[in-house]
Amino acid sequence: MKLLMMYFWIWLLPSNDIYCEYESTANDLASIELTLKQNKTFNLAVHPLGEGKYFKLKGKYIEKNGSISLKFNKKINPKLLFPNAQLSDCNNVTILNEKEVCFNRSEEAVCIWGITCVKE
């Protein structure tokens, strides 16, 4: 019986433990979730409110010197996902190239799609 219970609890454990998660604040545009997993992968899910198509992007991340660098699996236009990277009120994401962006790990929020996403 103990062995059966042990297997049951192992089955319930998540296979990719969450390392860090950011979720959008209340807004009229979209629900956004950026999930960094222990296995150094990430998911970025954008659920537009009203009309618009849900999309999910995946990739790997590197944490180095207090910064998190997201490397997307596909080429994206980072200026579409991070349009406010140059604005003073939302400039905590740096666009490195067409597949990579980075931000400081100590940030309590990052701006994605022009929406503030807070660390959970």
Look up the CATH number of the domain holding residue 48: 2.40.128
In a domain, 31, yes or no: yes
User: Would the pTM count as exceeding 0.85?
Assistant: no
pLDDT mean across residues, the chain: 84
- 109 - beta bridge partners? 118
End-to-end CA distance of the chain: 37
In a domain, 47, yes or no: yes
In a domain, 4, yes or no: no
Does residue 93 or residue 91 have the better pLDDT?
93
In a domain, 104, yes or no: yes
In a domain, 3, yes or no: no
Residue 89 reports pLDDT greater than 80: no
Measured CA to CA, the distance from residue 22 to residue 105 in angstroms comes to 11
pLDDT, position 7: 40
Domain of residue 30 covers: 16-119
Percent of the chain with pLDDT over 90: 56
In a domain, 115, yes or no: yes
* Per-residue pLDDT tens over the stretch 7-59: 444 444 455 588 999 999 999 999 999 999 999 999 999 999 988 899 999 99
Q: How many domains, the chain? A: 1
In a domain, 93, yes or no: yes
In a domain, 7, yes or no: no
pLDDT, position 113: 87
Output the six-digit token pair for 11: 């089955």
Q: What is the 3-state secondary structure (H, E, C) of 57-118?
A: EEEEEEEECCEEEEEECCCCCHHHHCCCCCCHHHCCEEEEECCEEEEECCCCEEEECCEEEE
Positive or negative CA dihedral for 18, 49, 69, 111?
A: negative
